[in-house]
Each structure stands twice: as structure tokens, then as C-alpha cells.
Amino acid sequence: MPRYLTMIRIDEKNAPADGPSPELQERMGALLEEITKAGVMLDTAGLRPTSEGTRVTWDKGELSTTDGPFTETKEVVGGYSICQAKDMAEAVEWTKRFLKTHEDYWTITAEVREIEG
């Protein structure tokens, strides 16, 4: 069965300072329990802020590192999931349900990509 990586992109500058509301956490927890019991979810997690991250770049034979925050970037990957689904349509449907757990003031983009191999 194909596996899919979903990268959740957020704008750190506009994300709620206190993080997800308790209601969102409850809705998200219920959906994650459902998707796990359905045998679809393999792994998922949120990511720490980019202020705690480092980018490593290989450019024309030179390695460089940049410590966060990455202020030039509008959207960053704020979380991910790896799931197995029968096809891309099913993976996208679960992703839509995940995004709908959020309140209207959130702006989130999810990129769903099949894992090769």
C-alpha cells in the first residue's frame, strides 16, 4: 500500500502565540485516534519553532549552516505525518479532515506527496 508524507506548512508569524486551543487539541486527538485505528497513520508530530532549527545547505560544492529563525521564509513546515492509504485521493481526504479540525483564524497549507519505493 502506498505511503504518503504530508507536510503541514504554517506562517509562524501569524500562528497563535499560545499554540493550538484546547478545543483544537481535542478535535485533533479524536481524528488522530480514528486515523490510527483505521490503520492509516504511521507517524505524525509537530515540529519545534524554526528559531530552534538549523538549515544545512550544499551549494556549488560548499556546505553552509544557518541558524533559525528563518525570517526570509513566509511559510515553514510546522508538522508532518506519514500515512498509508490506498491512493492519493484517500491521503488527501484524510488531510482535508485534519485541516478542518482547525479554527477559521488558522492559515495552514498541507502538501501531500507519495513516498517513493
Residue 77's identity, in one-letter code, is V
Residue 27's identity, in one-letter code, is R
The CATH code that applies to domain 3-115 is: 3.30.70.1060
54 compared with 13, residue with greater pLDDT: 54
pTM above 0.95, yes or no: no
Model confidence band, residue 108 (pLDDT cutoffs 50, 70, 90)? very high
Give the pLDDT score at 18: 83
